[in-house]
Structure 1
């Protein structure tokens, strides 16, 4: 009996000592990170080709971009968790933008990537295209955290790069430089931009409704975006009213500061500076579209060929955009507001990398071979039916038709 009592007293004493120790001093807390395990940093890959495949830029371009965006992406550590570094925030977002297309085959990962590669191989979604859920798996993050990182980083890219790399010309001299590029490259006079409009499908998470947004873009002769606007599209109609777009309103208000009409090259006939588009756009005095129908070998055909060469810049720019940022190859699982941020961010990155002449983005400066890859979920639009005729637009097009005729004796 005494032995059992002594054992019981000994256990009570030990329990009391442990309780006293826990209550008398502060327990040491270990700060958690926002990940479940050690981060998997894309930039840790040793393979240069692997790096290029997942972020569509060289490590030098990535570091320069990170230098610009780092302060905006940085977050403060808290007493509970360490903040996710700007490098991981940027690489995660670029992977979402660059690898949205689900591949048809399983790609082999390089052996030199070591344990990091093995970690990614454990997540099959890494090899078949990136969604927000697969990125959450790869980066050991929560779904809402991943979504917020993509949204915040796309916003930062547009806000910090847009003023330098996605800014419309703001003077007549700047617009003339754009026109000189089209004249030298395409032979089309007084062209201050090629315009195009596309409908982008989106499928927000948690919603069975398939919606879309309307992308309207103006491009210079070197396939760089001059202006990009994204507006939600109501209903199922794919009709496009140029007058309701940002560019159309700016032209109507006269706020673009286009040069005043000047004589065409080697001519004494004054003609306004114009944008060029396809049949989805209306004919205006500041917007040229091709003659309808076929007139092979005629005067109209010569004009259409010359205009098509200038308009191809917009087709090429959108082809490059969808080929490199493959988030546009499947319905985007985001709300219209977030899709707008994605589009504007990719347009800024496009101009940034074109300006850098990045070998990863545009090998050897090629711009005409990207249209064969298609435009993914970007669909063509049709013109909104409208009354009225060309008027001044017909006069301008006829004058430019005269200019575009080949010399006598040539066909």
Structure 2
């Protein structure tokens, strides 16, 4: 009996201990929950008070800036007011052209076209940058190639925001505007381009020229020797086709500076399009009494094709000296050289308007090709809208940038060499008849 009583007392003690412990745990949990709720309330109150103080400071700063802006020029305006109060209200047409390389009308046209890709939603912590400001930040970078820090201080945004604006706008331009401003020409555009080449340079039956563009870059993390161009500096190589109006019809970017231009051409969509007659009307035009597709003109580094004309190479005599070419071939070379100036002038205008292509570009190699494409599209946009081009931009680039490197002449080894020589001979005959 005593043992059973002892066991009951032990059991009662254990049950009492467990009940007390359970009650203490529940009390502690309730206390922690109340403390957490109070902590969150205090944090929220502190956050709202901080927001209120910041809002009051911004209002007070705006009032002081409004007083100062009446007595000093816009170049000294605080960065928080520069975009909203100065650019959007006080910029003159010359300011828009000088800073953004386009007219105000073209700027807002570009913003509307890019809005589907660049518009952002406000969050609980900050307001999203307007599309207009994002485009302005990116255009400032493309036009001047200044450091992100400088643009950050100017627009009152972070350096990472500047980088993101540039990247997002370049991708948006390529995605949304390529189909309109960087596309194969129509038959009417082919005829117009052929007439322009004939009237300006005296070269008939030609619709475009092909040339190369080298964009200087910083040293890449790997395979830097591949990016050394013939002039010895590091670059990204692009192939462009330029029409008689100075517009870009085709751009093939992202190749290392040491790549052979002929290899780029033979692996591009332009090669297959032109070889299949895509750059000529459905009804083959007549030249010198024969049906002949329109031709393109290229430098000596490209292969001679029936649709791609290049200059006659210099001949060497048995003694190793350069022998004079026959007069028809010399005349052909002079006319072709004059026609190729249109592509050189178009590239010079491109680099002068968007100086990120004329100075060393410090963006990553994953961004530079997209930036080249975006600048070519923006060039076509500005030219199509008739935006003015200032001669001082061109003079500045000619004085500051490294000359574009030349490429070695490619030997005539094309499988279409016989047909191509016949076509080149037709042009020689044409120029001889015109000279007679």
> Is 1:231–2:247 an aligned residue pair?
no
Q: 1:193 deviation in Å?
A: 0.7
Q: 1:384 deviation in Å?
A: 5.6
CA distance in 1, matches of 2:143, 2:114: 18
- The question of whether the paired residues in 2 share the 8 Å contact of 1:204 and 1:335 is answered with no
Over 3 Å counting, the alpha-carbon distance change for 1:326 and 1:401 in structure 2 is same
| Per-residue CA distance 1:215-242 (angstroms, 9 max, x = gap) | 11111111111111103227x4566423
CA distance in 2, matches of 1:296, 1:402: 15
SS at 2:216's partner residue?
strand
Residue number in structure 2 paired with 1:277: 298
Superposed CA RMSD: 3.7
CA distance in 2, matches of 1:371, 1:273: 34
SS at 2:245's partner residue?
coil
Can you give the 5+ residue segments of structure 2 that lack an aligned partner in the other structure?
A: 1-36, 56-77, 228-234, 315-322
CA distance in 2, matches of 1:78, 1:320: 41
Q: 1:336 deviation in Å?
A: 2.6
| Per-residue CA distance 1:255-279 (angstroms, 9 max, x = gap) | 5565564321xx3133332100121
- The question of whether the paired residues in 1 share the 8 Å contact of 2:305 and 2:414 is answered with no
CA distance in 1, matches of 2:275, 2:133: 44
CA distance in 1, matches of 2:313, 2:254: 28
Residue number in structure 1 paired with 2:153: 137
CA distance in 2, matches of 1:199, 1:313: 17
Residue number in structure 2 paired with 1:381: 407
Residue number in structure 1 paired with 2:237: 214
| Per-residue CA distance 1:150-187 (angstroms, 9 max, x = gap) | 011111122222221111115x4543333233223323
Q: 1:344 deviation in Å?
A: 1.1
Over 3 Å counting, the alpha-carbon distance change for 1:88 and 1:378 in structure 2 is farther
Q: 1:403 deviation in Å?
A: 0.6
> Is 1:402–2:423 an aligned residue pair?
no
- Structural mapping, 1:8-407, within 5 Å: 23=41, 26-27=44-45, 29=48, 30=51, 38=80, 40-41=82-83, 43-44=87-88, 45-100=90-145, 130-170=146-186, 172-203=187-218, 209=224, 211=227, 212-233=235-256, 236=258, 240-241=262-263, 242-252=265-275, 256=279, 259=282, 261-264=284-287, 267-293=288-314, 295=324, 298-359=327-388, 361=389, 376=402, 378-383=404-409, 387=413, 390-405=417-432, 407=434
SS at 1:395's partner residue?
helix
* Greater C-alpha Rg: 2
CA distance in 1, matches of 2:198, 2:42: 82
Aligned length: 354
Can you give the 5+ residue segments of structure 1 that lack an aligned partner in the other structure?
A: 1-18, 101-129
TM-score, normalised on structure 2? Answer: 0.70
- The question of whether the paired residues in 2 share the 8 Å contact of 1:186 and 1:309 is answered with yes
Over 3 Å counting, the alpha-carbon distance change for 1:358 and 1:250 in structure 2 is same
- The question of whether the paired residues in 1 share the 8 Å contact of 2:277 and 2:293 is answered with no
| Per-residue CA distance 1:119-174 (angstroms, 9 max, x = gap) | xxxxxxxxxxx12232223233333322111011111122222221111115x454
Q: Which moved more, 1:67-76 or 1:20-29?
A: 20-29
SS at 2:366's partner residue?
helix
Over 3 Å counting, the alpha-carbon distance change for 1:93 and 1:22 in structure 2 is closer
